[in-house]
Amino acid sequence: MARIIAAAILTACLSQGAALAKTVQTEIIRPLAENPQSDPATGSGQYLPESLTSPQDSETDSADDDGKPQVLYNTDMLPRTVARMHAQLREAALAGSMDRLRMVLESNELPPTLSFTETGDPIEFLKSSSGDGEGFEILAILADILDAGFLHVDAGTPQEMYIWPYFSRYPLFDLTPDQKVELYRIVTAGDFAEMQDFGAWTFYRVGIGPDGTLHYFVAGD
């Protein structure tokens, strides 16, 4: 009988020990990073890779390390309103449709600057400015300009603008060979030589505000 009682007591002790062992949880404590990102819900530190916690250079930086304006090509980074205006202008140009271009201009918040003098009807003015008299040359120029690199200038000011092509605000004497090839897709060597003598870009350029308003499609100075 004594043996039976002792065995029962031993079995009970072992069962209780096993139960206690199951309830014990372990936690591995690792040192936090020097500047952890806090979880807003818990306030606890959470380590993130440096690529996510450190400020990165963005495509909208105003200048490169050498002080020249930063040339941009990726239109995916444009604000939605700017991208829409850019796309509408480009589509009208590539379609060879002055009627579609008229719709884009008339949907604009304000009449864009097309000349530094009086223009009258905008489409008729553009046709008269085109070498072929129908506007196709102007549409081709517009398409080429909108396919070129661009600049984001005066960010955070009332003058903030996205400008095509970047040559209109870029040092013309500092162009690299590949930039010159890009430039000659828009103007002739003779045009470029005259602009170098003048000291500024005088050919067509496009300016779109951050709200998507087309401010100008104009040549001259």
Please report the pLDDT score of residue 43 as a whole number: 39
**Do 214 and 83 touch, CB atoms closer than 8 A?**
no
What Rg, from alpha-carbon coordinates, does the chain have?
33
Q: Is 207 helix (H, G, I), strand (E, B) or coil?
A: strand
Give the residue extent of every domain in the chain: 75-218
Mean pLDDT, residues 146-152 taken together: 98
Q: What is the pLDDT of residue 61?
A: 45
Chain centre distance of CA 70:
12
Is the pLDDT confidence value at 40 over 90?
Answer: no
Across 88-110, average pLDDT: 96
For residues 202-220, average pLDDT: 97
Residue with structure tokens 């002739």?
A: 188
Q: What is the residue-averaged pLDDT of the chain?
A: 79
The pLDDT value given to residue 7: 46
Is residue 97 classed exposed, middle or buried when 0-12, 13-18 and 19+ CB atoms within 10 A define those classes?
A: middle
Residue 213 has pLDDT above 70, yes or no: yes
